[in-house]
Structure 1
Amino acid sequence: QLIKGCEVHWKRSLMRIKELIEESRLPLFTFLISVLEGRNTEPEQFLQAADQIHTGFPKVKGWLSWWLNPLNGAMIFPAIHSMPAELHSRLPDSTNGGESNHWLLYRACGQKHSLLEGIRRLFLYVREIETLYKNVRSELHLPSPFSYETNETFVTRWRRAMQSERR
């Protein structure tokens, strides 16, 4: 999986869920969460901490189950993500490419449509994106994605196009 979750949203979710925890049990919960988040946490330690949260804090079972889903948890928890550490460290912590694309899609197509209306709107959205892409490529004289043209040639064309636009 090559997508990194948004730590900001994880932390906000965590702040909200902590309101369900009895104050006397909050230190233990916070410790167990730190184990889940730990960069050096081994998978076995991760599973033990998750199990302790699951059994010791029943009010957060649904929330925990969502985060422990392999597709969701792998985006946040180092012990279970499969992304190479080098790549993971280069990605920003406060954004999520998939989330951004979902927002653009929802904004363009809307939500809660019938299946056929949703497919129709999705088709129109894809056509619009294709048109924008083609227009940008033709305006900047971009090479085909399958061309072997050098980046230097592309950069030269792009600079010329930008200079002529300023005039």
Structure 2
Amino acid sequence: MRSGSLRERNGHDWIDRFTSWLQQTQHYLTVRSEVISADAAVISFQTEWMRNQLLPNSTKTPSVLSSLEPLEGLVTDGAHKYWSNPNAILLTTSSFDSVTDLWAPGLFTYTNGVSSTHYKYHFVGVFEGIAEAAAAQSISLYDAMFAMVVDFSDPQRIGFVEAFEDFFELHDAAIALLKGCQYHYDKSVTRVSRVASAVPSDKCSKFKKYCRILRTTEKSDTFFQVVKKIRKLCPSVEPWLAWWLRPEHASMIFPSQMTMDPTLVKQLPSTTNAEEAMHAKIYKIAGKGHDLIDGLDGLLKVEAHHHGQHDHALGM
């Protein structure tokens, strides 16, 4: 753990404080990861209520209980201003709470970076929580439970796949459970279209039109015909286009290239905007620039806020 992010007097003081925090919260908190290594420092945790939010909404509402109901989708993203150390990230995976009609946190993770190793530990915690919650309700696991909307960060994608492989020892299934963020693709199109040397102003409108077709067509032949048109129209965007055409990226955003079940694709959110809104709510409730222990306490306040809204909506 980086001492600079903790502002503690010495390592012993921090260890004592963290141990004390674990003891004080152990009766209602499950720590999924406590990793301090040369590769990563990761602390993941959730309450039982958070854990249960990771299940499909149909499994939370007995009147509509159906293990065949696909998950609305899990959304994962990182908040970069929560901790005092600029290198530290707060990763949060959220799910849609049908009781409050709001997104609710399912797992909080402190990381000292955003490598695939950091994401792997986070996603393993998510998967463990889902499996544990399902077992507690005698629900059989099915693939759609683990469907995830992510950004196009390679570390995030690789971390998800590695975590899924470790958890289920399956690779192809993991790839098929990832859906890319439509917003990030559209934003990338807008950004490259503003580079005059890559997309001349008189070709900008047609370039954007072709890029929209890539994101909407379900026909593979149409997709590749449009790819050829983009290459001919704007040869200088080739490096950008090649990145999006890489199979691991194309399969996450372009319908004609996706390996995810089409029904599941339609039920997942198109962007990670819900998680970005969650960050704003976290900042409002708990503030920013926290040292580790104070930050962990702040996240418990965030959980209490969402948990309280849920119980109030149920009339409890």
Please tell me the TM-score bracket, short chain as reference.
0.5 to 0.7
| Structure with more of its chain in helix, by fraction | 1
Pick from 16, 21, 41: which aligns with 2:191?
A: 16
Quick one: distance in 2 between partners of 1:12 and 1:28?
Answer: 16
Residue number among 229, 233, 237 corresponding to 1:60 in the alignment: 237
Q: 1:56 deviation in Å?
A: 2.1
Name the CA distance, whole Å, in 2 between partners of 1:7 and 1:27.
Answer: 19
Percent identity, aligned pairs only, is 32
Counterpart in the other structure of 1:4: 179
- Show structure 2 runs of 5+ residues with no match: 1-175, 274-316
TM-score by length of 1: 0.53
What one-letter code is carried by the residue in structure 1 that aligns with 2:183? V
- Distance in 2, matches of 1:30 and 1:16, equals 11
Is the aligned partner of 1:34 residue 2:34?
no
Deviation at 1:69, TM superposition (A): 0.6
Is 1:78 aligned to residue 244 of structure 2? no
Shift of 1:35: 1.5
SS in structure 1 opposite 2:179? coil
What CA distance in whole angstroms lies between the structure 2 residues aligned with 1:41 and 1:23? 29
- Report the count of equivalent residues: 98
Q: Is the strand fraction higher in 1 or 2?
A: 2
- Give, in angstroms, the shift of residue 41 of structure 1: 3.6
Task: Give the TM-score normalised by the residue count of structure 2.
Answer: 0.29
Cα separation, 2, equivalents of 1:42 and 1:24: 28
By how many angstroms is 1:74 displaced? Answer: 1.0
* Local SS of the residue matching 1:4: strand
Deviations 1:9-55 (A, max 9, x none): 111111111112111111221221121011x4410010010111123
* Higher Rg: 1
Is contact 1:32–1:53 with CA below 8 Å preserved after alignment?
yes
Structure 1's consecutive aligned runs of 4 or more residues displaced over 4 angstroms after TM superposition are none
- In 2, the alpha carbon distance for the partners of 1:83 and 1:42 equals 15
Q: Are residues 41 and 87 of structure 1, via their aligned partners in 2, closer, same or farther at CA, if it must alter by over 3 Å?
A: closer
Is the 1:37–1:77 Cα contact (8 Å) retained in structure 2? yes
Instruction: Give the structure, 1 or 2, with the largest relative contact order (CA under 8 Å, sep 6 or more).
Output: 1
CA deviations on 1:46-72 (whole Å, 9 max, x unpaired) are 001011112321221101000001110
1:35/1:41 contact within 8 Å kept: no
